[in-house]
């Protein structure tokens, strides 16, 4: 049984279709990254999965429970970490955890709270008001609170936005530790390095699911060709390349220039021209990165934010 199995989910706000026939399945124990630009419907999809929003169309199960009829059961078994910190800022860390422990009827409360604090290294900050914590600590508290009841599925909505790299690294180590214990994780993110740490990724853009698979699969299926250019005056080269047929992306990376296109023949032709015009420029084949793929997706999909 898959931890998440939803198909054809549609959610409209007014006449705007925010989630447009999204189908997704996540196997047990998997860590799946949920990617997509802002406003593409990630949060909305996650909310539908944990019963906080009712889909206009579509069906599905989460942990085997129907998302339309069994949302109360789902809530008990799922840990949902909201995008915005949504614990009580006027309660201390300890009080927030006690609140959660009591709501999930974890007994004895004190033992659960103490061990959670211990695990996250928050014991010394137990009596600090949650509102006074820094971003990184708030994330850790939120994660701690939503895994306290030992959920089978974690839904994490941009858990590391605005968190420093070290804290992000620790956060992901924790996620992997939890997943190895059998927990399933669906995590939305903007960070490419985080996507690379997922078993699989799903890319959603303006409500539509555009790609699903391992990072390698997604990159391969995108069918992009990448070349790396080296040499003098790359800024002029970049300018010359912009807008040529076959050239979709031109991006400087340090002392090199990455040029990406979906039509290999046209791209090669364009590069051959540029090589002739600019003496000393050396063109070599490059690796297409996940980021290149996403930027390709983003420029390709039409904006329905308006």
Partner 1 sequence: MNSVFSFARLGALLIKEFIQMRRDRITFAMMLGVPLIQLVLFGYAINNDPKSLPAALVATSNDPYTRAIVAALQTTGYYRFDHVAQSAAEAEFLISRGDVAFVVTIPADFARRVESGNNPQILIEADATDPAVASGAISTLGTVASQALLRAQGTQEAAAEAAKGQLDVVVHRRYNPEGISQYNIVPGLLGVILQMTMVMMTSIALTRETERGTMENLLAMPSSPLEIMMGKVLPYLAVGGVQVVVVLAAAKLLFAIPFTGSMSLLLTAVLIFVLALVLLGYTISTIARTQMQALQLTFFFFLPSIMLSGFMFPYRGMPDWAQAFGEIFPLTHFLRITRAVMLKGAELPAVAGEIGWLVVFVALFAGVALVRFRRTLD
Ligand X SMILES: Nc1ncnc2c1ncn2[C@@H]1O[C@H](COP(=O)(O)OP(=O)(O)O)[C@@H](O)[C@H]1O
Site residues, ligand X (CB under 6 A): 13, 18, 36, 38-44, 305
Q: What is the rounded end-to-end Cα distance, in angstroms, of the chain?
A: 39
Rounded to whole angstroms, the Cα distance separating 22 from 37 reads 16
Q: Is the CB of 45 or the CB of 184 nearer to Mg ion?
A: 45
Please enumerate, as own/partner, the contacts of 248-255 that have beta carbons within 8 Å and a separation of 24 or more. Answer: 248/224, 248/296, 248/299, 249/292, 249/295, 249/296, 249/299, 251/295, 255/230
For 131-135, the CB contacts below 8 A with 24+ separation are: 131/89, 131/90, 133/93, 135/162, 135/163
75 binds, among partner 1, Mg ion, ligand X, none (CB under 5 to 8 A by kind): partner 1
Residue 135 beta carbon to ligand X: minimum distance, rounded to whole angstroms: 18
Contact code string over 60-79 relative to partner 1, x by CB under 8 A: -----------xx--xx-x-
- Per CB under 8 A, the segment of 33-41, 86-94, 160-168, 264-272 that binds partner 1 is 86-94
Question: Pairing state of beta strands 4-13 and 78-81?
Answer: unpaired
Sheet with 256-261: list strands edge to edge: 249-253, 256-261, 225-230, 282-286
Q: Pick one of 28, 98, 268, 275: the residue that binds partner 1 (CB under 8 A).
A: 98
The reply on whether position 91 binds partner 1 by CB under 8 A is: yes
Query: Which of partner 1, Mg ion, ligand X, none does residue 18 bind (CB under 5 to 8 Å by kind)?
Result: ligand X
Least Cα distance to 210 among 298, 289, 290 occurs for: 298
43 or 202: CB nearest Mg ion? 43
Could you give the strand order of the β-sheet that contains 16-26, starting from the edge strand earlier in sequence? 16-26, 4-13, 57-62, 65-66
Q: Which does 80 bind (CB under 5 to 8 A by kind): partner 1, Mg ion, ligand X, none?
A: partner 1
Q: Collapse the DSSP code of 130 into the 3-class scheme (helix H, G, I; strand E, B; otherwise coil) and give the result.
A: helix
31 burial class (0-12, 13-18, 19+ CB within 10 angstroms)? buried
Exactly one of 9, 20, 47, 267 binds partner 1 (CB under 8 A); that residue is 47
The residues of the shown chain that bind Mg ion, judged by CB under 5 A, are 43, 83
Question: Does the footprint of partner 1 cover residue 16 (CB under 8 A)?
Answer: no
Buried b (16+ CB within 10 A) or exposed e, 230-255: ebeebeebbebbeebebbbbbeeeee
Please report how close the Cβ of residue 161 comes to ligand X at its closest, in angstroms: 10
The residue whose two tokens read 């300890």 is 94
Element (DSSP H or E) covering residue 96 = helix 93-103
88 binds partner 1 (CB under 8 A): yes
* 100 binds partner 1, rule: CB under 8 A: yes
Q: Between 39 and 231, name the residue whose CB sits nearer to ligand X.
A: 39
65 or 203, CB closer to ligand X?
203
> Of 96-104, 198-206, 255-263, 277-285, which segment contacts partner 1 by CB under 8 A?
96-104
Among 17, 40, 45, 82, binds partner 1 (CB under 8 A): 82
Note whether 99 binds partner 1 by CB under 8 A: yes
Coil, strand or helix: which one is 233? Answer: coil
> Which of the residues 104 through 143 are near partner 1 (CB under 8 A)?
104-105
The residues that touch partner 1, with contacts defined as CB under 8 A, are 47, 50-54, 71-72, 75-76, 78, 80, 82, 84-91, 95, 98-105
């Amino acid at each position: 049984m898959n931890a998440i199995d939803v198909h054809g989910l549609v959610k409209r706000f007014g006449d705007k279709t925010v989630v447009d026939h999204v189908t997704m399945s996540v196997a047990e124990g998997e860590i799946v990254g949920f990617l997509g630009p802002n406003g593409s419907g990630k949060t909305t999809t996650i909310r539908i999965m944990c019963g906080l929003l009712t889909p206009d169309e579509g069906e599905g199960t989460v942990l085997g429970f129907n998302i339309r009829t069994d949302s109360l059961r789902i809530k008990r078994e799922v840990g949902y970490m909201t995008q915005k910190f949504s614990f009580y800022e006027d309660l201390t860390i300890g009080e927030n955890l006690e609140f959660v422990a009591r709501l999930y009827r974890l007994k004895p409360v004190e033992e659960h709270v103490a061990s959670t604090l211990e695990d996250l290294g928050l014991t010394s900050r137990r009596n600090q008001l949650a509102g006074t914590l820094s971003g990184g600590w708030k994330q850790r508290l939120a994660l701690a609170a939503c895994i306290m009841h030992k959920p089978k599925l974690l839904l994490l909505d941009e858990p590391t936005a605005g968190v420093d790299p070290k804290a992000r690294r620790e956060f992901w180590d924790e996620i992997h530790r939890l997943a190895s214990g059998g927990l399933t994780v669906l995590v939305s993110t903007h960070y490419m390095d985080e996507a690379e740490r997922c078993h699989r990724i799903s890319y959603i853009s303006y409500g539509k699911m555009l790609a699903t698979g391992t990072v390698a699969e997604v990159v391969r299926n995108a069918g992009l060709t990448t070349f790396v250019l080296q040499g003098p005056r790359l800024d002029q080269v970049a300018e010359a390349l912009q807008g040529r047929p076959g050239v979709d992306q031109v991006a400087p990376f340090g002392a090199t220039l990455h040029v990406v296109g979906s039509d290999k023949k046209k791209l090669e032709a364009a590069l051959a021209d540029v090589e002739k015009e600019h003496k000393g420029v050396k063109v070599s084949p490059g690796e297409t990165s996940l980021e290149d793929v996403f930027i390709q997706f983003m420029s390709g999909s039409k904006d329905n934010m308006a």
